[in-house]
């Protein structure tokens, strides 16, 4: 099977598994938890409320202002297209400018939104975009309809992560086998967690979030961060790729605020690899206006609600329980993943690439180790898994290669013995 065929098959696994669980709603399939369909639940209800608020906010702007924004959008789009055609060398900045213009347009509608209970707006924004023309054509909208739109987007995000994980592995090591092994581990992960970590890996929505069956931020966040990492590691670190990586990380920050930590790490990666820093920074700031405008409606509105924001949320005393009590990252799972991943970090010939993968995996995990409720919400660390899977693949294949070499040296072919 070709590499492309293998990736298509792996992507299909990532899609078929949640769809099978959805089709069998109310029943339990082998290797999977029992899944009972609910259109929105937990944080997903807040995100759905945010999509409805966003769709309604355009009407609150008033027809004259919406018309003016429409004209401005057409003018800006025409200018960007002209710059794209005339200045090939500056296309990276045109892309970053287009992302910024889009963010500013969205800010106009966000300014008319009411509080919805959603801490961040990146995922509700993406979720609402295909629903805009649907609503404009008079289509009815309820939680069930919204679930259909969101499910497609979540599954697409997981498919993107399969491909991005492959490219992270290939770009970091130069070996397609590593990329395929890492992508396979991500694709099969929904089938493995219960086997490795036990039924606790299915509790508190951990499995359904990973599978994309509830409308949470994690599939999109992981896809954006892994895609950005692949672009940053790409051998052809063109200004355009650096700008796209910056835009992806900027939008990821709107999806999940702590993803902003990786914006700073990305800048370090760009500098270390002597890539185009300016296009990366131009992309990295593109969605900051949206983050700032939505802030009063997001976390700032939740700090006084103990049900949404725990008292004393960060402390060094939480580090041990974040891992020893984790629903997913149990000692057995960590014993299977981490030793081989650590071996992979040591075996990777390019120490710089090894350091980048380790830092990309550790930064979110380290931050959330100090968070009070990480043990019961292991989804916070899902974005760390793709680089860990790449390192695990390096370690596993490296160990296999050394075993084979040892067997070969102990039992050389007859031609070599003679």
pLDDT at 256: 96
Arithmetic mean of pLDDT, 376-382: 95
The pLDDT tens digits for 128-180 are 999 989 988 888 889 999 999 999 999 999 999 999 999 999 999 999 999 99
Which one is predicted more confidently, 401 or 27? 27
Mean pLDDT of the chain: 92
Is 234 in contact with 280 (CB distance < 8 Å)?
no
Q: Give the separation between CA 158 and CA 170, rounded to whole angstroms.
A: 19
Instruction: Average the pLDDT over each of 87-91, 232-236, 284-288, 299-303 and give the range with the smallest value.
Output: 299-303
- Residue 158: phi and psi, rounded to 5, are -65, -35
Arithmetic mean of pLDDT, 377-401: 94
And the tokens for 364?
């979110």
pLDDT at 214: 94
Instruction: Average the pLDDT over each of 213-217, 246-250, 269-273 and give the range with the smallest value.
Output: 269-273
Is 292 in contact with 257 (CB distance < 8 Å)?
no
Instruction: Average the pLDDT over each of 61-65, 247-251, 302-306, 378-382 and give the range with the smallest value.
Output: 302-306
Instruction: Average the pLDDT over each of 16-25, 73-82, 134-143 and give the range with the smallest value.
Output: 134-143
Is 299 in contact with 119 (CB distance < 8 Å)?
yes
In whole angstroms, what separates CA 2 from the centre of its chain?
A: 26
Arithmetic mean of pLDDT, 384-395: 97
The H or E element spanning position 283 is: helix 277-284
Find where tokens 């919406």 sit.
66
Alpha-carbon torsion, ordered 405, 409, 412, 416, to 10 deg: 110
Q: Give the separation between CA 417 and CA 408, rounded to whole angstroms.
A: 12
Q: Give the separation between CA 409 and CA 15, rounded to whole angstroms.
A: 44
Q: Is the pLDDT of residue 258 over 80?
A: yes
Arithmetic mean of pLDDT, 72-80: 94
Q: Is the pLDDT of residue 127 over 60?
A: yes
Length of the chain: 418
CA-based nearest residue to 142, from 59, 36, 40: 40
Q: Is 27 helix (H, G, I), strand (E, B) or coil?
A: coil
pLDDT at 418: 42
CA dihedral sign, ordered 202, 206, 212, 216: positive
And the tokens for 120?
């961040």
Q: Give the separation between CA 81 and CA 118, rounded to whole angstroms.
A: 35
Q: Is 418 helix (H, G, I), strand (E, B) or coil?
A: coil
């Amino acid at each position: 099977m070709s590499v492309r065929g293998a990736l298509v098959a792996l992507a299909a696994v990532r899609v078929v598994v949640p769809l099978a669980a959805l089709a069998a709603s109310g029943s339990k399939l082998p290797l999977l938890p029992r899944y009972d369909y609910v259109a929105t639940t937990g944080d997903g209800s807040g995100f759905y409320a945010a999509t409805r608020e966003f769709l309604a906010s355009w009407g609150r702007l008033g027809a004259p202002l919406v018309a003016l924004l429409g004209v401005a959008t057409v003018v800006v789009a025409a200018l960007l297209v002209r710059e794209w055609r005339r200045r090939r060398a500056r296309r990276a900045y045109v892309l970053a400018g287009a992302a910024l213009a889009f963010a500013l347009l969205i800010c106009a509608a966000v300014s008319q939104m009411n509080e919805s209970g959603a801490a961040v707006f990146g995922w509700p924004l993406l979720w609402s975009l295909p629903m805009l023309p649907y609503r404009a054509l008079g289509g009815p909208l309820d939680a069930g309809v919204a679930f259909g739109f969101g499910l497609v987007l979540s599954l697409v995000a997981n498919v993107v992560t399969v491909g991005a994980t492959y490219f992270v592995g290939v770009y970091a090591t130069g070996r397609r086998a590593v990329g395929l092994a890492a992508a396979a581990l991500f694709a099969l992960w929904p089938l493995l967690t219960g086997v490795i970590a036990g039924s606790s890996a299915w509790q508190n929505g951990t499995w359904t979030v990973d599978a994309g069956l509830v409308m949470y931020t994690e599939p999109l966040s992981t896809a954006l961060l892994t895609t950005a990492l692949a672009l940053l590691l790409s051998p052809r670190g063109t200004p355009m790729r650096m700008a796209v990586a910056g835009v992806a990380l900027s939008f990821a920050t709107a999806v999940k605020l702590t993803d902003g930590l990786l914006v700073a790490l990305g800048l370090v990666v760009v500098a270390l690899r002597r890539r185009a820093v300016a296009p990366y920074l131009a992309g990295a700031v593109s969605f900051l206006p949206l983050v700032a405008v939505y802030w009063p409606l997001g976390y700032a509105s939740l700090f006084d609600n103990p049900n949404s924001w725990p008292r004393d949320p960060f402390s060094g005393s939480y580090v041990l329980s974040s891992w020893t009590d984790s629903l997913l990252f149990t000692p057995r799972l960590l014993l299977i993943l981490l030793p081989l991943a650590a071996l992979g970090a040591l075996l990777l010939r390019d120490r710089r690439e090894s350091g980048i993968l380790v830092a990309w995996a550790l930064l979110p995990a380290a931050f959330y180790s100090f968070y009070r409720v990480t043990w019961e919400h292991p989804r916070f660390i899902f974005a760390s898994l793709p680089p860990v899977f790449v390192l695990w693949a390096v370690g596993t294949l490296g160990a296999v290669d050394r075993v084979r070499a040892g067997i070969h040296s102990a039992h050389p072919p007859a031609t070599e013995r003679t």
